[in-house]
Structure formats: structure tokens, C-alpha cells
Amino acid sequence: MEFKDIVMQRYATKQFDGRMIEEAKLFALLDIIRYSPSAFNLQPWKIKVVTASKIKANLRPHANDQPQITSCSHLLVFCANAELEPLVDKVVDGMRSGGMAADTVRQYEAMMKGYVASMNPEQRMSFAREQIHIALANAVNGAKSLGIDSCPMGGFDPAAFAEVLFLPEEYVPVVLCAIGYAADTPPPKWRLPREEVFF
């Protein structure tokens, strides 16, 4: 499928048919998400993959009782990780192991550490949230490329989700993506006309 067709055919599925995604397709999608771009390649996210029906049922009241939560195959909970210093260290290790020149690594490390040090906690969280939405875009388009339907979701209680999922304190739920196979029909796709978007 051409990428343009993927973008045009993808829609926010409101009802899934309950079928589970095949393991090979799921892992292919997780790799598409894993390879998402992020500033400095910091990848400031953790993604909780929820499959258990009981857990999804416990989460649904904290997501405005939306049926996607329980009818989907898998629920992806994208969490921001604002503890950036350890991520910088991992990127630096990756650059070294990839054979990048030592001087280049040192310069890049200094730049990353300076940028991270300049941010207060609110800015760090905002940074992580921004990066997560890049990964979310890969998730919804990647899913469609594999014949999987999806629904990105923002209407939920992050604190309640963190409690139900026993998430470590440093991982803050930001956005959800329900994935599975659609049991509904996509509505006509509507977007603002080109002249109202580009200037």
C-alpha cells in the first residue's frame, strides 16, 4: 500500500471486533513505533502494552467509558519519561558502539547535556510529550500499513491509569492508542482545505 493510501484510509476506529492481533504483526508494529524519530534520539517514552481483558475493563471507567478500551486487541499507553539524563547516557553509548568518532560523540554529548540542563521539570515534561506524538503518528500509520486499525485517544485520567497499571512514578501517561480490527465503518474523511492550512 502506498503511504498516501495509508494516510487516507486510516481513521479513528470507535469499535473493534475483539480479535487479537497476530504476534508477528504486533511485533512488526512495535518495531515501527520503536524506530520513531525523536529530538537528539532521546526516545523519552515508555509504552505500556495492555492485553488483559480485566485490566482493560478496569481502565475503561477512567477513559470516559469509551468502548475502544475493552473491544481493542491491545491498548498502547504512551508514557512520558522526563528523566532525561539517563537517556542522554544511553544515546552516547549507542553513538560510541556505532563507531562514531570520539570527538563527534563528545561534542554531541556536551550539546545534549547542556540542553537538558537548561530545562525545568515542566519543560522536560513538555519536551517528552512532544516527542511522544511523533511515535503516536508512527503507531497509527504503521498499524494501517499492516492491516491493523487504530484509535488515538486523549480523553482519559492519567493519574488513574498510572494507578491501575502500577506505573513507576517517572512514567506519566500522555496518550492512548487502541489497536485491533475494526467492527465499524469509517466516516467520510474531512480536513480543512489546503488554502486554510498552508500559507
Q: All domains of the chain, ordered by start, with CATH? A: 3-82+132-197 (3.40.109.10)
Beta bridge mates, 49: 76
Number of Cα atoms under 13 Å in the Cβ half of residue 160: 13
Name, in order, each residue with C-beta under 8 angstroms of 133's C-beta and a sequence gap of 6 or more.
175
Whole-model pTM: value is 0.95
How much of the chain, in percent, has pLDDT values that exceed 70? 100
User: How confident is the prediction for the chain on average, in pLDDT?
Assistant: 97
Question: Residue 12 has what DSSP assignment?
Answer: B
Band of residue 43 on the pLDDT scale cut at 50, 70, 90: very high
DSSP per residue, 153-166: E--S-HHHHHHHTT
User: Is the model's pLDDT at 14 over the cut of 90?
Assistant: yes
Residue 1: its pLDDT value, please? Answer: 85
Residue 144: its pLDDT value, please? Answer: 98
Number of Cα atoms under 13 Å in the Cβ half of residue 141: 15
At 46-66, the pLDDT tens digits run 999 999 999 999 999 999 999
By C-alpha distance, which of 173, 88, 89, 166 is closest to 125? Answer: 173
What 3-state DSSP class applies to 26? helix
User: Is the model's pLDDT at 180 over the cut of 90?
Assistant: yes
Residue 6: its pLDDT value, please? Answer: 97
Residue 51: its pLDDT value, please? Answer: 97
